[in-house]
Structure 1
Amino acid sequence: MEAIIDKTDLLNELDTPYEVSQEAISFYRKNGFVKLKHVLSPRVLDYYGDIITELVFRLNTLIKPMEERTTYERAFLQIMNLWREDDRAREFVFSKRLAKIAADLMGVEGVRIYHDQALYKEPSGGITPWHADQFYWPLASPHTVTVWIPLQETPMEMGPLAFAEGSQHVAIGRDIEISDESEKTLSDELQRQNFTVHDTPFDLGEVSYHAGWTFHRAGPNVSDRPRKVMTMIYMDNDQRIIEPRNPYQVADHAKWLNNAPIGGGPQDELNPIVFTY
């Protein structure tokens, strides 16, 4: 028989505000990312991590051998919008604690969910090439942010996320999809422009937030365990939809925004507000 768990404390934690220091807010706005320690307890990560992991392996359809996969496919198993698949996953994705941090970092009144995604880098999984997420999103404002939540301690050998500090302010590489090309082109250009790359391990309970136009990458997972990560993408609740500028944005407009009218805002059913002041 499965043990009955009293989730009251877990749900309270997910809704209890985490006070972001002014120093962290300033760092985020200057550098396009910030790492925050002790955001989630081991108990929350353990309980919801098991639920997310079960969903990832149940819903995953990428079963090709690693050597037959593209660079993108070798980077991770990617399962999206778990909140629409499972009510317990929804509790985690709709955490007011995590959403309030996003609003505070961006300096906005409230945030909507764009979508969530689990990113599981398998043992022997390859690099995640340099890229900026907002290349894929038909959204007008740069007020977008992704929270990256490792579900375990993530040392360097597991391929933690790395960031090019301040890269959200430059226009290089904004028309390149995630690929071998983006890895080489952006690596060369970021080095040429002397960007500092922040590449450090994550403690258990530590999470990062990065802006939609911040360039980031991850190394390979050379450990014998999967690097399990859950992410949520937030946008300003006043975000506006723009005419898609590439085929990926056309697909995102249909899948994550339900083809909502150009120039208007996202719809509440698919992109609900998860925190507001």
Structure 2
Amino acid sequence: MSDLNKLPELTSDYELTKEQIQEFQEKGHIKLSQVASSEEVGVYRSIIGEKVKELNYHNKPIEERDTYGKAFIQVSNIWEKSAEIQRFVFARRFAKIAAELLGVDGVRIYHDQALFKEPGGGITPWHQDQIYWPVDTDNFITMWMPLVPVSEEVGSMNFANGSHKFGYISKLAISDESQKTLSQYIEAKGLEVENYGALEAGDATWHYGWTLHSAPGNPTNTMREVMTVIYYADDAKVIEPDTNARKTDLQKWLPGLAPGDLAASKLNPILYKKNV
């Protein structure tokens, strides 16, 4: 185990402009450069990578998996498994950006996800994250940060500009069906699709829970190593789950809570509060 005191603190402020906040709220996504420095990311990358390797649940080669399985190695709430990774996931700097982009005073963590797309990994189909989340706020945001440089071939995610304004578009989980149906929706609505292309380690994209997004496959011979953290407004409440996916999420990420409760289980501490 590393000496926690020697790890980068990630507590300093990242200054956002009014224009950046407006851009995020209008388009539903934004790229911010060097949210963490290459030096800061480098320290945490090896710790996160080792834990992902340890917790990887895939036991079949890529070509034998379904579309979801081909998309990435996914390890959630990795912060619970490591005090060092918790320091990264709970970083005040990241949480403050989340609150300011959303325009709220405070944010809680919903959960984190390490999303490692293997060489030869497939696409991540079009979807909305928030179809999985039984919480009563539109103020959900995901930080998506590569831990390694990502080439133009792989790129960032694809975002459908303004799609968050349509709210709950479809209950389709990530699948071939969601790829087909939501591609047709984007075309029918005439929504512009944007990809930020190559990213440096420590750059980050941010998107609303309702923003339609997908990701290209990985045609390179290197792993696309990404860490994500999902945040939401700290005053949000639990709603009655309307799908099995939301029932599962309620039990897993909001344990012990019921509809109407403040969405504040032991797994959802406040990570940033203005003036505190």
Q: Which runs of 5+ in 1 are unaligned?
A: none
Give CA deviations for 1:161-191 in whole Å, capped at 9, x if unaligned. Answer: 1110100011473211110011111111101
Are residue 264 (structure 1) and residue 258 (structure 2) matched?
Answer: no
In the alignment, what sits opposite 1:116?
A: 112
In the alignment, what sits opposite 1:55?
A: 51
Give the counterpart of 2:243 among 231, 242, 246: 246
Are residue 212 (structure 1) and residue 209 (structure 2) matched?
Answer: yes
SS of 2:232's equivalent?
strand
Q: Percent identity?
A: 42
**Counterparts of 1:175 and 1:268 in 2: how far apart (Å)?**
25
In the alignment, what sits opposite 1:164?
A: 160
**Counterparts of 1:3 and 1:232 in 2: how far apart (Å)?**
22
Give the counterpart of 1:15 among 7, 11, 15: 11
**Normalising by structure 2, what TM-score?**
0.95
Q: Which runs of 5+ in 2 are unaligned?
A: none
**Normalising by structure 1, what TM-score?**
0.95
Change in Cα spacing, 1:67 to 1:4, as seen in structure 2 (3 Å) is same
**Counterparts of 1:241 and 1:204 in 2: how far apart (Å)?**
35
Q: Residue type of the partner of 1:237?
A: D
**Counterparts of 1:204 and 1:160 in 2: how far apart (Å)?**
12
In the alignment, what sits opposite 1:153?
A: 149
Change in Cα spacing, 1:268 to 1:251, as seen in structure 2 (3 Å) is closer
Are residue 184 (structure 1) and residue 183 (structure 2) matched?
Answer: no
**Counterparts of 1:144 and 1:206 in 2: how far apart (Å)?**
20
Measure how far apart 1:214 and its partner are. 0.2
How do residues 36-51 of structure 1 correspond to structure 2 at under 5 angstroms? Answer: 36-51=32-47
SS of 1:120's equivalent?
strand
Give CA deviations for 1:35-55 in whole Å, capped at 9, x if unaligned. Answer: 101211011111101111101
Change in Cα spacing, 1:5 to 1:102, as seen in structure 2 (3 Å) is closer
Measure how far apart 1:200 and its partner are. 2.4
